[in-house]
Amino acid sequence: MRDAARAAGMFLLLSTGASLALALVYILGGQPQLEGTFLAISLGSIGAALILWGKRILEGPDDVEPREAPSPHGEVEAAEEAVEDGGEQIARRRFLIRLLGAAGGALGVALVFPIRSLGPSPGNTLYTTPWKKGARLVTGDGTPLRPTELETASIVTVFPENAIGSADAQAVLVRVDPVNLALPGARDGWAPEGNLCYSKVCTHAGCPVGLYVETEHALRCPCHQSTFNVYTGAEPVSGPAVRPLPQLPLEVDAEGYLVAGGGFSGPVGPSFWNMP
Amino acid sequence: MIVRNVVEGLDERLHAASFAKRSLRKVFPDHWAFMLGEIAMYCFLILVLTGTFLTFFYVASAEETTYVGPYAPLHGQQVSVAYNSVLRISFEVRAGLVMRQIHHWAALVFVGAIMLHAIRVFFTGAFRKPRDINWLIGVSLMLLGTAAGFTGYSLPDDLLSGTGLRIAYSAVLSIPFVGPWIAYLIFGGEFPTHEMLSRLFVFHVFLLPALIAGALSAHLALVWHQKHTQFRGPNRTEDNVVGSSLWPRYTLKSLGLFFVIAGVLAMLGGLFQINPVWFYGPFDPTVPTSPAQPDWYVGWLEGALRLAPSFEPQLGSWRLPEPFVPGVVVPGIFFTILALWPWIERRITGDRELHNLLERPRDNPLRSGVGVAGVTFIGLLTLAGSNDLLAYLFQVSVEGMNAVMRILLFVAPVVNGLVAYTLCREMKNRDFHKFSHPERVALHRTAEGGFVTVSVEPGSRDAFSHEADRADHGEDGAEDQERGAEHQAAGHDGHADAEHQWPG
């Protein structure tokens, strides 16, 4: 017990010293590791001293306390009676109860309306992106691209020229050897010189699909590993995604730059219940 | 004299004397496992303290600004005002980095302590009547704690947190019929929006802490009112509480625990880097990040999203979006079963009694089996949240890893649950056998100084009880005698011996 008291005393002295050191470190401009260490020593030592005090210095037999007995006979019945008694007094006015219900319900409905202010109606925003026919494909710094500019098997993130950085317009431009292409029907001519453009928003949970696996000629999402075959119109080949990445039809404009031939082949991003 | 004045003064005004007397003598049972909930509570206190400090510097704004602070690699970059303020806290505010890192570590420990506490309460049956209401409050606290953690780590607006938010948005969007509306109302429009940081901020520093503080107060009030459960032991019955009284022993020990936790968190915050947002860079919805793992306690939701099969049933023009089942239904079912477990178990066992004494896991094999199965399920999903890292570790493809994990997810909980069930039942039977047919031997010392063992019939316990008890203690019988003498001298005879005997 005396040893415990001595040890607790040492801990408290140690804590005092560490706190002073902490203050000094702070005055001298601060240093994260030292701040953490001294704070840990001053707090931890107080803790050690208090636990020694509670467990070793204050020795003694266990304390015992009785638990409360259940409510005496009659109490429960009396409580029930009180509830029912009050209830009966109110129940006499049926008419008022009904009106109160109507007023409460109406108030509840009215109070729901401010929630409507929290956000706009989804409307058709989930179906549209800033891509339009004729919009030039530009990189993040605004450079337009020619169809021969990209080396085969390399990718670059592109935006429509009027919406650089747009989260739902972001797209991946990937160039492949056109002989390998097996795009779904009606997409002939969507890939001039083997340039394919797909939405970069994963159709699973919306992460940017930014990895290109050259050996599998596939775009892969780093979040949940959905993998899309670029030859076949970004059909998912593995991972949780169900829908292919929407494709952007490409054309070359008069000045020889890549432009969109229209909007994406479908709504971009993760599925929602009435997505076509 | 001062004490007297204060107590008298308080009693005159509040009639507090009898309440104070009872409260100060209130007894709390001692067991290491009872500290888990306390650890969570103290983490919350530390979170509020460090969080308040951080609030003075954090700015919840998505406005763009140019970084001009001391961290050279980001010089001249366009970043959000929020991200900028977190960098300022980390590099310019004195003691800011330590406070931020303590706050993050405390959050990780907070949710961990809540989960361990829930596991303890589950396996010991502490949730049984009359504490089933408090179990519900506890499950709510687990949800609130997880939500507070998630909104917190989304605030720095770094690449990792933004990606996490993106996934959460997609999970909300996947809800049938109302998903797009709910997502737009929560986020203020199509992700990413200007409003989302300020909304998360309100959730993180006001709504969720207020709800946690309220639920925590109710949780503690019920523990106080109903008195804490205790394990079986000598002199411990359904009708009493044996342990340390609030004043002074429990107060000293509990305060000590607070300071030790604060010390450990300060050490973690000072020496172990956590969430270095300056490495991740500012959030940009067009930049991928890999490998990306969320904070550990949402890892199981991430794992569910990674393991779920590519399946989206369609009915006419309607579809059930793929993330809905793993992201909403699975956690929904899990938390519903968790919350309702006290009533489910009551339905199974038909036990409607009040319980103040705890069970050991072996005392209730069915519950322990279910518990082990549940922990295995969540543990596997958490592992699956790092399937890319695991695949790299084992040098297999992510798809191969997923195939194995999917099988394990259904097989392992069943196998582990059955093993736990069987082990518990065997141990329970053996205990029962030991009590109903105690194997007893008597040790006799012969005149020559040797020993002989004489087996004792269970029925004839009385005649040999003294010797038999000695024999149970085996070779430390002599030591026991010495200790017994010591204890008698210290004025609390019998207690240590009795504890030593338990449970036989």
Q: Would you list the DSSP string of B204-269?
A: IIIIHHHHHHHHHHHHHHHHHHH---B--BTTB-TTEEEEEEIIIIIHHHHHHHHHHHHHHHHHHH
Give the whole-angstrom CA distance, residue B28 versus residue A237. Answer: 59
A29 in B contact zone (CB under 8 Å): yes
Cis geometry, peptide bond prior to residue B130 (ω within 30 degrees of 0): yes
pLDDT value of position B454: 77
Give the whole-angstrom CA distance, residue B471 versus residue B488. Answer: 22
How confident is the model over A163-191, as a mean pLDDT?
Answer: 94
A273 in B contact zone (CB under 8 Å): yes
Beta bridge partners of A93: none
State both tokens at B159: 């690449």
Q: Is residue A95 part of a domain?
A: no
% of chain A surpassing 70 pLDDT: 100
Give the strand pairing for A218-220 and B451-456.
unpaired
pLDDT value of position B443: 81
Evaluate if residue B371 carries a pLDDT over 60: yes
Q: Is residue A275 part of a domain?
A: no
Q: Is residue A110 part of a domain?
A: no
Give the whole-angstrom CA distance, residue A160 versus residue A137. Answer: 5
Beta bridge partners of A247: A198
A43 in B contact zone (CB under 8 Å): yes
Q: Is residue A17 part of a domain?
A: yes
Residues in chain B: 504
pLDDT value of position B473: 45
A26 in B contact zone (CB under 8 Å): yes
Which residues lie closer than 8 Å to B195 by C-beta, 6 or more apart? B187, B188, B189
B457-501, pLDDT tens digit by residue?
Answer: 655 444 444 444 444 444 444 444 444 444 444 444 434 343 344
Alpha-carbon radius of gyration of chain B: 29
pLDDT value of position B293: 86
Give the residue, A59 or A229, on which the prediction is more confident. Answer: A229
Q: Is residue A89 part of a domain?
A: no
Looking at chain A, list the stretches that DSSP marks H as alpha helix, in order from N- to C-terminal side.
2-27, 32-52, 75-91, 94-116
How confident is the model over B265-277, as a mean pLDDT?
Answer: 97
Chain B partners within 8 Å of A39 (Cβ): 98, 263, 266, 270
Q: Which of A35, A57, A79 is the last residue of a domain?
A: A57
**C-alpha distances in Å from residue A43, one per residue of A19, B108, B261, B442:** 9, 19, 8, 53
* Nearest beta carbon to residue B240 from set A39, A51, A65: A65
Nearest CA in chain A to B294: A223
How confident is the model over B185-204, as a mean pLDDT?
Answer: 95
Q: Which segments of A176-257 are extended strands (E)? A: 195-199, 211-213, 218-220, 227-229, 235-238, 250-252
pLDDT value of position B44: 98
> Containing domain of residue A32, as a range?
2-57
Chain A partners within 8 Å of B255 (Cβ): 47, 50
CATH of domain B29-234+241-309+320-333: 1.20.810.10
Residue B93 distance to chain A (closest CA, Å): 9
% helix, strand, coil for chain B, step of 5 = 70, 5, 25
pLDDT value of position B439: 66
Residues A153 and A249 in one domain: yes
Q: pLDDT tier at A70 (50, 70, 90 boundaries)?
A: confident
* Nearest beta carbon to residue A206 from set B170, B256, B260: B170
Give the whole-angstrom CA distance, residue A179 versus residue A194. Answer: 8
Q: In 3D, which of B230, B123, B232 has the Cα closest to residue B503?
A: B232
pLDDT value of position B441: 74
Evaluate if residue B449 carries a pLDDT over 60: yes
How confident is the model over B85-104, as a mean pLDDT?
Answer: 97
Q: Which segments of B346-485 are extended strands (E)? A: 440-445, 451-456
Q: Is residue A104 part of a domain?
A: no
Alpha-carbon radius of gyration of chain A: 35
Evaluate if residue A96 carries a pLDDT over 90: yes
Domain ranges of chain B: 29-234+241-309+320-333, 440-501
In this complex, do B179 and A157 lie within 8 Å of one another by their Cβ atoms? no
Q: Is residue A46 part of a domain?
A: yes
* Nearest beta carbon to residue B240 from set A64, A157, A224: A64
Evaluate if residue B381 carries a pLDDT over 70: yes
pLDDT value of position B432: 80
How confident is the model over B190-204, as a mean pLDDT?
Answer: 95
Whether the Cβ atoms of residue B372 and residue B275 lie closer than 8 Å to each other:
no
pLDDT value of position B464: 41
State both tokens at B485: 């003498």
B107-134, pLDDT tens digit by residue?
Answer: 999 999 999 999 999 999 999 999 999 9
Give the whole-angstrom CA distance, residue B257 versus residue B45. Answer: 13
Chain position carrying tokens 């990792």: B160
Q: Is residue A215 part of a domain?
A: yes
The number of distinct structural domains making up chain A is: 2
Give the whole-angstrom CA distance, residue B496 versus residue B234. Answer: 10
Query: Which run of H or of E encompasses B314?
Result: strand B314-315
Chain A partners within 8 Å of B259 (Cβ): 43-44, 46-48, 50
Q: Which of A57, A72, A94 is the last residue of a domain?
A: A57
For A247, phi and psi rounded to 5 degrees? -105, 145
The order of strands in the sheet holding B27-28 is A63-66, B240-245, B27-28
Average pLDDT, chain B: 89
pLDDT value of position B202: 97
